[in-house]
A = this chain, B = another copy of it.
């Protein structure tokens, strides 16, 4: 559970909702004045439509459907990864690396696919340089692929305020054009003008809200996760290389811990 994102989302909605309620009360109007379905359609629909032109559909769908991931966590820490490699180094020394493929480390619910892949390559008897190249390619192209989802969401955050502006311009043009038309009897033209103006501004408001409270933080979150995976991949590359060389577990621990912040390191409790 990524508590931070949940707190951010809920407190943000609370703040904005509360501020809106107070503002509406002060002005003597209902909160419903902030709701306009057409504005919502222009901003969200327009931003997603433009993004569909820029990115392939599967990427856009993957990006949007990845939103719940913001609230999840990985289920393991980088210290767990270090610990797994330290254990594997023990097994490698005893020549029992192959057994590790079917095992699960005691301290983690599952062995990471990336760790297994490395072990498999060692067992298959590939040369060290080949293994390094394969793992480096995997990481390079993984990073390129996964940043795409972040970029697609980021584009929506870039397009949303622009479609907000487009909607407001629609509203302003029609409002001004409509002022030349004599109003139906019983309608106050100034009141009509002012109401149209309020509606026109709502689209700009939605554009800013969706961009700065949804698309852009979400995109930044995905970029953050991608950066985290880079450290994980660096651990896996260094770890696999040391398994290949049957390096002593203590040195494995030392070297992999060097990638981590002091407080995040794996500390052997024995």
Contacts and interface: CB of A to CB of B under 8 A. Distances in A.
Contacts of A178: 27-29
A45 interface: yes
Contacts of A204: 169
Contact of A141 (B167, B183, B201, B260): B260
Contact of A55 (B41, B148, B170, B220): B220
Nearest to A61: B4
B15 A41 contact: yes
Contacts of A224: 54-56, 148
A62 to B, nearest CB: 11
B221 A54 contact: yes
Contact of A170 (B42, B53, B171, B205): B205
A109 interface: no
Given A27-B196, A178-B29, A255-B134, A38 B22 contact: yes
Given A3-B57, A130-B255, 5 more contacts: A134-B258, A141-B258, A144-B231, A172-B198, A176-B201
